[in-house]
Amino acid sequence: TLESYETKKDKRSLVDAKNYVAAFLEKYPLDFGLLFLGPCGVGKTHLAVALLKKLISERLERGLFYDFRDLLRAIQLSWNSVSQTTELQILGPVLEVDVLVLDDLGANKPTDWVRETMEHIINCRYNDRKLTIFTSNYLDAPARQGEETLTDRIGARLRSRLHEMCKVIEIRGDDFRREIRQVNYRF
């Protein structure tokens, strides 16, 4: 939930991200989506799912969450001749739902097929003016020399489309999962 998203007072970007999501909910509906960028474990998915849940429960929107890697796998599995599911059955809800969260954008190796699939989904939702919320571990500028950017992973054309579609919320901080796990391992 949005209420359970923990922010440390010294981590300004965490507080700002949570406040922005709360303001987004108050002003909804809006004509743009959100793109949460940041390293692993800072709460991008937590905020995206909290927003999705609120829009479903309080605004009665139809919503769907997909890890982008799982979505691509489901599409690929639908091509199997013994599959009971078609590509259209998978993509239909993704394209038609009111609010879609696509988690871990850019996590897959950027093959032509992956980019074409991303472009199809994102362009269809853009053209239909459907709210889409994205998360990605890849930033617009590399944190360290040699690191890939979101543009490297999804291509310049798609990154340009996301600039048009979404407000970017960059979250900086330590890996919350690592901190929690270390506390749990203590005797």
- Report the CATH number at residue 25: 3.40.50.300
Distance CA 1, CA 161 (A): 29
Output the pTM of the full model.
0.89
19 located within any domain:
yes
Structural domain boundaries enclosing 99: 12-184
4 located within any domain:
no
Backbone dihedral angles phi then psi of residue 167, each to the nearest 5 degrees: -85, 130
Count structural domains, the chain.
1
165 located within any domain:
yes
For residue range 61-85, list pLDDT tens digits in order: 999 999 999 999 999 999 998 888 9
- Cα 87 to the center of its chain, rounded Å: 21
pLDDT at 178: 59
Q: Answer yes or no: is pLDDT of 10 > 60.
A: no
Distance CA 91, CA 35 (A): 21
49 located within any domain:
yes
Compute the mean pLDDT over every residue in the chain, rounded to the nearest whole number.
91
6 located within any domain:
no
